[in-house]
């Protein structure tokens, strides 16, 4: 059995940000099911949305978010996140994130994406998530108060009601988690004062997704089994433009390509989004995905195409180096020909229900990032609001833990049992015959 003050499950932007903030007063253990960089954060291309320009306003960002959520956003949470966002972006810069600077040297180069009424997306070309992950991991690796365990898969939560000999009354309480050490094959017990779920979404339940292989909904499943309230799980966002290639099923073509002038066309080379939404190619993701779906069903085509060949080749290659090089490696030169694209599962708008501090309905259990349902996204997330939500709520959760730390540490410790395998055993046959 292992003991820690704070157990963080997941190594994306939410988990890393939270770890850095609480390590000054608590022992932190962070477990991640594969390597630290196997996260949805690391694949995020577009950027992080925040009001960082004099040409933009908090109210404009709020209204864009509410419209995108189709009436199901929690407006109080939307205003809170948008208001606190700019400070969190500045904090990322202080931690070493290298966002692209504006050409005039004043401020950041801000991108435009679907559903936004102004340029407000801070980015690192088309590697924004990778850059944020790099900077935060660098800080975490330097911090001696944060213990990181790769290849450790959390499989279930330890909750008070399941502890033998304890008469459970009132709200459920989380005591830690059972974690499979994938290197040894052993299930280890991690007892913690506070447990934070940052395991990302569930995209891999779909055949076509932009998500990494780790996105199997672990955090939501564990929380649900423990009795935590979950919400809005029916709202899974499909990104309109996933690269259509049988050999590469999960490569995203960033929203920013359309933000920089990319146009969706059909097999005949005709633009079609004007038939489905007045905002055309810069409509919200749900609207664009539905437009593409309708166009494909009407024509019987396997895909549609995203055309940015009218922009200078140098601009395209420099602005989207990863997309350009990946497409070219698979036979498509996006500076000379349109990119074949289809919608694919991208983001879980629902999740473990939390309050404005990231607390779930189980004491000492919190959830952050895509694993959580904060009320920000409603039925459809606005582009580049996910990284924003993650850093804002990681900050707020750290404030709550710090404020309540004395009360948390005064709770009675519970003796917990190890993992019970029962009659389960490893499969010995090399071939299964059904």
Active site residues: 285
| Spatial separation of the C-alpha atoms in residues 82 and 69, rounded to whole Å | 14
- Which backbone phi and psi does 421 adopt, to 5 degrees? -85, -15
| Spatial separation of the C-alpha atoms in residues 418 and 209, rounded to whole Å | 36
Q: To which H or E segment does residue 346 belong?
A: strand 339-348
| Spatial separation of the C-alpha atoms in residues 400 and 402, rounded to whole Å | 6
| Spatial separation of the C-alpha atoms in residues 159 and 226, rounded to whole Å | 7
E strand spans, 317-417:
339-348, 351-353, 365-367, 372-373
The alpha-helical segments, DSSP class H, found in 250-284 are: 255-259
| Spatial separation of the C-alpha atoms in residues 367 and 358, rounded to whole Å | 6
Strand order across the 304-307 sheet: 236-243, 339-348, 304-307, 263-265
Contact 135, 95 (CB under 8 A): yes
3-state SS, residue 151 = coil
Contact 169, 130 (CB under 8 A): no
Contact 378, 205 (CB under 8 A): no
Of 209, 236, 237, 301, whose CA–CA distance to 264 is shortest? 301
Handedness of CA 162, 164, 167, 173 (dihedral sign): negative
Contact 150, 36 (CB under 8 A): yes
- Which backbone phi and psi does 332 adopt, to 5 degrees? -125, 120
Cβ-count burial of 324 within 10 angstroms (0-12 exposed, 13-18 middle, 19+ buried)?
buried
Chain-centroid distance of CA 390 in Å reads 7
Q: What does the buried/exposed string (b/e) look like for 207-238 if buried means 16 or more CB atoms within 10 Å of the residue's CB?
A: eebbbbebbbbbbbbbbeebebebbbbebbbb
Cβ atoms within 10 Å of 63's Cβ, excluding its own:
14
Chain-centroid distance of CA 156 in Å reads 21
Q: 148 has which bridge partners?
A: 30
């Amino acid at each position: 059995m292992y003991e820690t003050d704070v157990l963080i499950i997941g190594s994306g932007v939410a988990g890393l940000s939270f770890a850095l903030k609480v390590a000054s007063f608590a022992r932190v253990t962070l477990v991640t099911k594969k390597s630290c960089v196997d996260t949805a954060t690391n694949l995020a291309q577009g950027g992080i949305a925040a009001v960082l320009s004099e040409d933009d306003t908090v109210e404009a960002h709020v209204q864009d978010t509410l419209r995108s959520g189709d009436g199901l956003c929690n407006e109080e949470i939307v205003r809170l996140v948008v208001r606190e966002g700019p400070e969190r972006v500045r904090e990322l810069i202080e931690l070493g994130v290298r966002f692209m600077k504006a050409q005039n040297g004043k401020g950041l180069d801000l991108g435009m994406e679907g559903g936004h009424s102004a340029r407000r997306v801070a980015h690192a070309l088309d590697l924004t998530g990778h850059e944020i992950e790099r900077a935060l991991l660098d800080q975490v690796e330097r911090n001696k108060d944060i213990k990181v365990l790769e290849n450790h898969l959390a499989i279930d939560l330890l909750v008070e009601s399941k502890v033998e000999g304890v008469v459970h009354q009132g709200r459920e309480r989380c005591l830690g988690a059972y974690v499979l050490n994938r290197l040894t094959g052993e299930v280890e017990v991690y007892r913690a004062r506070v447990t934070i779920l940052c395991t990302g979404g569930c995209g891999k339940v779909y055949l076509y997704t932009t998500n990494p292989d780790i996105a199997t909904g672990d955090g939501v499943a564990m929380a649900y089994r423990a009795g935590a309230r979950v919400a809005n799980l029916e709202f899974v966002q499909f990104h309109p433009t996933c690269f259509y290639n049988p050999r590469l099923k999960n490569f995203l073509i960033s929203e920013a390509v359309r933000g920089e002038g990319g146009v969706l066309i059909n097999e005949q080379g005709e633009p079609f989004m004007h038939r489905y939404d007045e905002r055309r190619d810069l409509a919200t993701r749900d609207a664009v995905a539905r437009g593409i779906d309708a166009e494909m069903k009407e024509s019987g085509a396997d895909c549609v195409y995203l055309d940015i060949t009218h922009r200078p080749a140098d601009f395209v290659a420099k602005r989207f180096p990863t997309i350009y090089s990946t497409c070219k490696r698979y036979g498509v030169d996006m500076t000379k020909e349109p990119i074949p694209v289809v919608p694919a599962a991208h983001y879980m708008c629902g999740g473990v229900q939390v309050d404005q501090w990231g607390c779930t309905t189980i004491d000492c259990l919190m959830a952050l990032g895509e694993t959580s349902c904060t009320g920000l996204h409603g039925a459809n997330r606005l582009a580049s609001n996910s990284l924003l939500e993650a850093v804002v709520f990681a900050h707020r959760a750290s404030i709550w833990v710090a404020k309540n730390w004395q009360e948390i540490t005064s709770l009675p410790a519970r003796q917990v049992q190890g993992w019970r395998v029962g009659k389960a055993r490893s499969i010995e046959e090399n071939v299964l015959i059904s």
